[in-house]
Amino acid sequence: MNPRSSFDKALIEIQEDIFQLANLVEQAIYNAVQSLIKLDPAGAAQVIMCDEEIDELYAKIESKCIKLIATQQPMARDLRMVVTGIKILLSLERIGDHAVDIAQATMCIRESELNRKSSEYLTKMSRLVQQMIKDGFEAYRERDVQKAQEMCTLDDEVDHIFTKIFQLLIDNILADPKSIVQSSYLLYVSRYLERIADHATDIGEAIIYLITGERKKLN
Amino acid sequence: MDKSELNEPNKNKILVKKLNLFYKDYQALKSVNLDIKANKITALIGPSGCGKSTFLRTLNRMNDLIEGVKVEGTILLEGENIYGPEVDVANLRKQVGMVFQRPNPFPMSVYDNVAYGPKIHGLKNKRQLDEIIEKSLRLAVLWEEVNDRLFKSALGLSGGQQQRLCIARLLAVEPEVLLMDEPSSALDPISTLKIEELIQVLKKDYTIVIVTHNMQQAARVSDVTAFFLNGELIEHGATEEIFTRPKDQRTEDYISGRFG
C-alpha cells in the first residue's frame, strides 16, 4: 500500500486543474487578439467576463496548494511540485490579466479597421505566445526539460517582433499623427504580448526546477 | 575558555571511515563513511532498523555495553581514534555526551542532577558547583523555570523540563559533542519546539548529532542530514538540498513518505 496515495491523488488533481487553467488562459489570449484584430467589442467584453472564471480557478488551485503545504508537509519532488504549482498559477493569472488588458484596449479603439501590418505582427506574436503556453504545458505533462527549454527560445522571437512593431507604430504616428490613438493602444497590446511571453518563460523555468531541482534563467 | 574558539568553522569534528558494526552475525552498519562538522547539527534519518541509532551510539561507544557487538573501521574524534586501545571510555563519554529518547533524571533534586557529573569527576567546591549548576541550567534554557525549586525533586518537573534538565546535566561536564537519540519523541509539540530552539542555541558551542523519526524536525533543526537504509549511509548533504532535491531515489522515496 502506498502510504501517500491520497496525497498523490491530490497532487495529480492540482496538476489537472493547472492544465485546465492553462487552456482557459491560452484561449483568452487567442480571443483577445482576435477580437482586437476584428475590432469586435462584444468579443473583447467576453474575454473580460471570462477572466472571472480564470481568477476563481486560480484561487481554488492556490487554496489546494496551501492546504497541501499545511497538512501534508511535502518534501523533495512533492515540495517542488507544490511550490512550482503556485508559481505557474501566478504566471497564468498574470497572463490572463494581460488578455483582459488587450480586450480593454480593443474597446478603446474607435476606428473601423486596424492597420494591416500591425495586425499581422500582433497575430504572429499571439500565435507564438499561445505556442509557448501549449509547449510549456506539454513539457509539464511529460516532465520534459528539453521541451521546456525550447519553448523558452520562442521568447526571443516574440521580442524580435516586439521591436519591429514598436518601430512600425512609431513610424505610423510620425507619418499620420491622427493614428496616434490607435497606435498607442497597439503599442500597449504588443507590450502585453511581450510580457505574456516573459511569463511563459517563467513557467518554463519553473517546470525545469520541478523536474531537476535546479534553477535556470532562460530570459 | 570559549569553546567556539576551539571549534573553527567547517572543521571536521568527527571522521568516520569504513565503519562496520555487527550484532553477532547480523551486520547493522555497512562501511559507513561520514564527516561530522564542528558546530553543525547533523540529523540522522531513516526507517526503523536502518542503523541510525546504532551509528549514533558508536560515536561514544555506547554499543560496547551490548554483548556480541563487533566494530570495524575507524572513528576519529579530533584526530584520535576513539576505538584505540588506550582510550578511556568514561572520559570519551564525558567528551561525547548523550541525551536519550525519554528524559531520565535521577530521582534526586534538580541541583543534584546537574551536580552529579562534576562531583563524579572530583569537583567538591560548593561555590564552583553552584556556578556550574547555574551556567548549565541557563545554557539549557531552564534556569528561569527552576531557580526557585533547585532543591526539590527533579521528578516533579514536566517532561519537557526534565529533558532540558538532562541536557543541563550533560552540559555540566563540558562535553564537546552532544548525541541526541530522538530527544523530543516523548514530548508535546511546545516542549519539542523548545528543545529544537535549545539545540539551535547550543550549536554555537557544541557539535550536535541528532537521530529523529520526525522528518520535519530534521528539516527544521539540522544543517546536515544523513539518510540511512539497511545499515548503509545512502546519502548525506546540506539539509536544504536533501529535502528539496535529494540525489538518490531511495532518499526521495523516504523523505516524501513513499515507503518506510
Give me the DSSP letters along B178-241. Answer: EEEESTTTTS-HHHHHHHHHHHHHHTTT-EEEEE-S-HHHHHHH-SEEEEEETTEEEEEEEHHH
**In this structure, what is the dihedral angle of CA atoms B110, B111, B112, B115, given to the nearest 10 degrees?**
130
Composition of chain B by helix, strand, coil, percent to 5: 40, 25, 35
Q: Enumerate residues 6+ apart whose C-beta is below 8 A from B201.
A: B139, B141
pLDDT tens-digit profile, chain A (219 residues): 777 889 999 999 999 999 999 999 999 999 999 999 999 999 999 999 999 999 999 999 999 999 999 999 999 999 999 999 999 999 999 999 999 999 999 999 977 788 899 999 999 999 999 999 999 999 999 999 999 999 999 999 999 999 999 999 999 999 999 999 999 999 999 999 999 999 999 999 999 999 999 999 887
Q: Across the interface, do B245 and A213 touch by the CB < 8 Å criterion?
A: yes
Q: Across the interface, do A74 and B252 touch by the CB < 8 Å criterion?
A: no
Looking at residue A2, what is its pLDDT?
A: 78
**Which residue, among B127, B19, B135, B30, has the nearest Cα to B82 in the 3D structure?**
B19
Average pLDDT, chain B: 93
Cell representation of residue B208:
550536535
One-letter amino acid at B85 equals: P
In a domain, A28, yes or no: yes
CATH, residue A178 = 1.20.58.220
Helix axes A180-212, A116-142, angle to 10 degrees: 10
Optimal mutation site among B249, B252, B258, interface A, most CBs of chain A within 10 A: B258
CA distances from B160 to B97, B154, B187, B200 (A): 19, 12, 6, 16
Q: Across the interface, do A75 and B259 touch by the CB < 8 Å criterion?
A: no
To the nearest whole Å, the CA of B46 is away from the closest chain A CA by 15
pLDDT at B174 over 50: yes
Q: For residues A50 and A81, is the Cβ–Cβ distance under 8 A?
A: no
Local confidence band at B10 (pLDDT 50, 70, 90 cut-offs)? confident
Q: Which range, B1-10, B63-72, B126-135, has the best average confidence (pLDDT)?
A: B126-135
Q: Give the C-alpha separation, B89 to B73, whole Å.
A: 17
- Find the domain containing A57 and state its range: 3-212
Looking at residue B9, what is its pLDDT?
A: 59
Looking at residue B1, what is its pLDDT?
A: 41
pLDDT at B143 over 60: yes
Cell representation of residue B245:
532535491
Local confidence band at B258 (pLDDT 50, 70, 90 cut-offs)? confident
Over residues B191-196, mean pLDDT: 91
Q: Across the interface, do A77 and B257 touch by the CB < 8 Å criterion?
A: no
DSSP conformational letter for B102: S
**Site of grid cell 545554557:** B139
Residues in chain B within 8 Å Cβ distance of A76: 243-246, 251-252, 255-256
Cell representation of residue B153:
525533586
Q: What angle is formed at CA B22 by the lines to CA B17 and CA B24, rounded to 5 degrees?
A: 160
In a domain, A175, yes or no: yes
Over residues B124-145, mean pLDDT: 95
Local confidence band at B187 (pLDDT 50, 70, 90 cut-offs)? confident
In a domain, A70, yes or no: yes
Q: Across the interface, do A75 and B245 touch by the CB < 8 Å criterion?
A: no
**Which residue, among B203, B65, A37, has the nearest Cα to A29 in the 3D structure?**
A37
Q: Give the one of A77, A212, A214 whose C-beta lies nearest to B256's C-beta.
A: A77
DSSP conformational letter for A176: -
In a domain, A217, yes or no: no
CA distances from A79 to A59, A85, B130, B209 (A): 19, 10, 49, 26
CB pairs under 8 A between A and B: 37
Over residues B207-216, mean pLDDT: 94
Cell representation of residue B11:
572543521
Residues in chain A within 8 Å Cβ distance of B245: 76, 80, 212-214
Looking at residue B8, what is its pLDDT?
A: 60
- ipTM score here? 0.80
Q: Across the interface, do A75 and B215 touch by the CB < 8 Å criterion?
A: yes
Looking at residue A5, what is its pLDDT?
A: 86
Over residues B180-200, mean pLDDT: 92
Looking at residue B186, what is its pLDDT?
A: 87
Q: Give the C-alpha separation, B167 to B170, whole Å.
A: 5
Do strands B12-23 and B69-77 pair parallel, antiparallel, or not at all (unpaired)?
A: antiparallel
Q: Give the one of B244, B255, B257 whose C-beta lies nearest to A213's C-beta.
A: B244
Over residues B190-219, mean pLDDT: 93
Over residues B157-171, mean pLDDT: 95
- How many distinct structural domains can be found in chain A? 1
Cell representation of residue B118:
562534576
To the nearest whole Å, the CA of B242 is away from the closest chain A CA by 7
Residue of A nearest to B240 (CA): A76
In a domain, A166, yes or no: yes
**Which residue, among B196, B130, B131, has the nearest Cα to B163 in the 3D structure?**
B196
Question: Of A71-80, A124-133, B5-14, B232-241, which gets the smallest average pLDDT?
Answer: B5-14
CA distances from A63 to A1, A57, A69, B154, B199 (A): 28, 10, 10, 47, 34
**Which residue, among B124, B123, B137, B203, has the nearest Cα to B170 in the 3D structure?**
B137
In a domain, A219, yes or no: no
**Site of grid cell 549548576:** B133
In a domain, A85, yes or no: yes
Q: Please report which residue ranges of chain A form alpha helices under DSSP H.
A: 5-37, 41-72, 76-108, 116-142, 145-175, 180-212
Optimal mutation site among A75, A83, A145, A211, interface B, most CBs of chain B within 10 A: A75
Neighbour tally for B190: CB within 10 Å: 9
**Which residue, among A88, A119, A116, A93, has the nearest Cα to A189 in the 3D structure?**
A119
Over residues B15-44, mean pLDDT: 97
Q: Across the interface, do A77 and B259 touch by the CB < 8 Å criterion?
A: no
Cell representation of residue A127:
500565435
Cell representation of residue B130:
553552584
pLDDT at B4 over 50: no
pLDDT at B2 over 50: no
Residues in chain B within 8 Å Cβ distance of A74: 256
Looking at residue A3, what is its pLDDT?
A: 79
In a domain, A46, yes or no: yes
Q: Across the interface, do B259 and A3 touch by the CB < 8 Å criterion?
A: yes
pLDDT in tens, B90-127: 999 999 999 999 999 999 999 999 999 999 989 999 99
pLDDT at B220 over 50: yes
To the nearest whole Å, the CA of B42 is away from the closest chain A CA by 18
Interface of B with A (CB under 8 A): 215-216, 219, 243-246, 251-252, 255-259
